[in-house]
Amino acid sequence: MTSGQYEGEPLRLSLLLILFTILLVAVIAVATAIGDYNIRLGTVVLAVTNRLGLTSAEISRIEESVVWDLRLSRALVAALAGAGLSICGAILQALLRNALAEPFVLGVSAGASTGAVCVIVLGIGAGGLSLSFGAFAGAFAAFGLVALLSNGATSGPNHTILAGVAASQLFNALTSYIVTTSGNAQQARDIMFWLLGSFGGVRWPNFQLLLVVVALGFAICIWMGRALDAFTFGDEDATALGVPVARIRLLLFAVTAMITATIVSMVGAIGFVGLVVPHAARYIVGPMHLRLIPASAAIGAVFMVIADIVSRVVVAQQTIPIGVVTALVGVPFFAIILYRARPQT
Amino acid sequence: MSIVAENLTWGVRRKTIVRGVSLSAAPGETLGLIGPNGSGKSSLLRLLAGLKRPHTGRVEIFGQDIAQVSRRALSQQVAFVQQSAATDTNVTVRDVVRLGRTPHRSALAGWTAADEAAVTTALTHVDMLGHTAQAWQTLSGGERQRVHIARALAQSPRVMFLDEPTNHLDIHHQIEILRMVRDLDLTSIVALHDLNLAAMFCDRIVVLQAGSVIAGGSPENVLTETLLRKVFRVEAGVTRSLYHGRPHIHFTAA
């Protein structure tokens, strides 16, 4: 396999997108059918068509409610979260010119956990909504600090990464400080579970919000796709190709922070997806962003729904944190890509 | 004039790197920029190409102050070839040259016949048409340099700035690239280390020392034994070449 093969083959992206759309529908159907209480696929389809007003089949109202109110919204949020994190990873890897960049590199997850801890432990605000709000506020506080430390991200990729590391350390230290001085054992456990991520408890309003944020972010990233390509040889080269580097960099950092903060505040800091999926996508459709961004979104969506299924079925009567599953499922898969894509020199 | 620079000054922190440089280049001219290491050649090229903002002074390209022109509009006219730009991304030769069309394409516009023609012509000029599908990471240093030049040509510029374009090239391609730059119907300013190549291919030469222009003019007038001793600290004899009629520098061993 050489990287030349995708050249002049937009067909390959179309095929991938068609295949993954079919796959996505299939895994969402499976995710909706499987659980503590299994529901037949036929019933799943009828439940959805009933709620959409397309059919009025006679099925159990409990099953219909489980499908529609609990599992379908959960599966769709998982798909959007997977797509969103993967897009963010692809964008940050391009802007920071670093293969290790991922959605949390700018301190967003550390900030979110500090915000969440403020709510859980210190009781700032109360109720489920304010936990998300706390996480979101914390995420943006961290991003703001990174933007400040890196002069609005104009000081070059490494400087920005270092600023992200500093912000992450600061906010992680704040989190630990609050937990050790004010928290009890149960709260510490709650926080750890929250950080590893869970799709439990997401409902339709979460889906609607996430759909707006991810769709908007996706559109902006596609619009900037050509400009991102121009970053291949660095900032100066992008400037010479007519790209307003500082403006685009700040805009796209803000977009990734927005997507990531929304996802983290809903379902926790789910790792690995945003790092690995863009590499997998690049391996299939090449590094150019008008192909890479849709491919990353498609692969990320399918991957996350599968990870959610695995998290619910692998141990009976118990849900494994989704972040644990993404890493356990993702690492072997990533190892194959790393092995096959190793430099030939 | 294609390019007019007036009184450019630039530096980092307290160190002034370019001091009050003024120069101009006529349409179609190939202007050589020579000077010892650290004389400010690269910085001056970046100021002229609008990649850095001068502290004082201004640059006009075809009568327009480049500080007043949008980055994209400028890049439709001006190309810049930097020294050994690197990437870890797994791109092909064609991907890289296609990037040259960036300033001419809107965000989602398709690939046009004009784009394709510009890329093919550019690859032909640098003798890399047979390598279009090759991965960047597998190219030699000289091949990478030629692809960068092709990318600049694919920009269809009217003005081109090249920073040491012949580094890493074998002698055949050093001569081919400079011959091509000279023969192309565009204005170019080229920073060069090889004084004999500068003498052979440049219409005029500007000499920088410690950030200031200390000589400028035709190769015959500029490349004198006195100047070589003063600026480059070498002993040399300069004769008129029997082969190309330009000055030829013979360095004398101590």
| Per-residue model confidence as pLDDT tens digits over B194-238 | 999 999 999 999 999 999 999 999 999 999 999 999 999 999 999
The CATH number for A52's domain is: 1.10.3470.10
Q: What average pLDDT does range B102-109 have in this prediction?
A: 87
pLDDT, tens digit, 9 for 90 and up, residues A159-192: 889 999 999 999 999 988 988 888 788 877 777 7
| Nearest chain A alpha carbon to B96 | A232
Instruction: Flag whether A345 is in a domain.
Output: no
Contacts of B116 in chain A (CB under 8 A): none
Contacts of B73 in chain A (CB under 8 A): 242
To the nearest 10°, report the CA torsion of A176, A177, A178, A179: 40
pLDDT computed for residue A156 by the predictor? 78
Class of domain B1-77+157-220: alpha beta
Output phi, psi for A87, to 5 deg: -60, -45
CB B160, CB B168: distance < 8 Å: no
Residue contact A232–B135, C-beta within 8 A: no
CA A108, CA A256: separation in Å to the nearest integer? Answer: 10
| Nearest chain A alpha carbon to B152 | A241
DSSP state of B228: I
3-class state of residue B4 by DSSP: strand
CA A202, CA A211: separation in Å to the nearest integer? Answer: 13
Q: How many CB atoms lie within 10 A of CB B33?
A: 28
Structural tokens at position B199: 């003498």
3-class state of residue B29 by DSSP: coil
**B157 in contact with A, Cβ within 8 Å:** no
Q: By residue range, what is the domain housing residue A238?
A: 3-340
Contacts of A343 in chain B (CB under 8 A): 137
Q: What average pLDDT does range B176-191 have in this prediction?
A: 93
Candidates A230, A244, A345; nearest CB to B99: A230
Q: What average pLDDT does range B99-126 have in this prediction?
A: 92
CA A55 to chain centre: 34
CB B246, CB B199: distance < 8 Å: yes
Residue contact A345–B137, C-beta within 8 A: yes
* CB pairs A-B closer than 8 Å: 95
Report which of A174, A98, A146, A153 is spatially closest to residue A261, judged by C-alpha positions.
A146
Residue contact B96–A232, C-beta within 8 A: yes
Q: Per-residue b/e over A222-251, b at no fewer than 16 CB within 10 Å?
A: bebbbbbbbbbbbbbbbbbbbbebeebbbb
* ipTM of the modeled complex: 0.90
pLDDT computed for residue A8 by the predictor? 47
**Chain B closest CA to A336's CA: distance in Å?**
17
Count of structural domains within chain A: 1
Domain boundaries, chain B: 1-77+157-220, 88-155
**B140 in contact with A, Cβ within 8 Å:** no
CA B41, CA B34: separation in Å to the nearest integer? Answer: 7
- Beta strand B56-61 with B247-251: parallel, antiparallel or unpaired? unpaired
| Percentage of chain B exceeding pLDDT 70 | 100
Residue contact A232–B87, C-beta within 8 A: yes
Instruction: Flag whether A312 is in a domain.
Output: yes
Contacts of A345 in chain B (CB under 8 A): 137-138
Candidates A3, A242, A341; nearest CB to B71: A242
Residue contact B72–A3, C-beta within 8 A: no
In which region does residue B92 sit, left (phi positive, over 0), alpha (psi from -120 to 50) or beta (all else)? beta
Residue contact A4–B133, C-beta within 8 A: yes
- Which of A100-104, B84-88, B99-103 has the lowest average pLDDT? B84-88
Q: Which amino acid is at A311?
A: S
Contacts of A239 in chain B (CB under 8 A): 51, 71
Residues 36-75 of B with CB under 8 A from A: 46, 49, 51, 70-75
Beta-carbon contacts of residue A37 (< 8 Å; ≥ 6 apart): A66
| 3-state DSSP of chain A | CCHHHHCCCHHHHHHHHHHHHHHHHHHHHHHHHCCCCCCCHHHHHHHHHHHCCCCCCCCCHHHHHHHHHHHHHHHHHHHHHHHHHHHHHHHHHHHCCCCCCCCCCCCHHHHHHHHHHHHHCCCCCCCHHHHHHHHHHHHHHHHHHHHHHCCCCCCCHHHHHHHHHHHHHHHHHHHHHHHHHHCCHHHHHHHHHHHHCCCCCCCHHHHHHHHHHHHHHHHHHHHCHHHHHHHHHCHHHHHHCCCCHHHHHHHHHHHHHHHHHHHHHHHCCCCCHHHHHHHHHHHHHCCCHHHHHHHHHHHHHHHHHHHHHHHHHCCCCCCCCHHHHHHHHHHHHHHHHHHHCCCCC
Candidates B46, B90, B100; nearest CB to A287: B90
Q: Which residues of chain A have pLDDT under 70?
A: 1-11, 125-129, 152-154, 341-345
Structural tokens at position A149: 């430390």
pLDDT computed for residue A5 by the predictor? 39
Residue contact B71–A239, C-beta within 8 A: yes
pLDDT computed for residue A298 by the predictor? 96
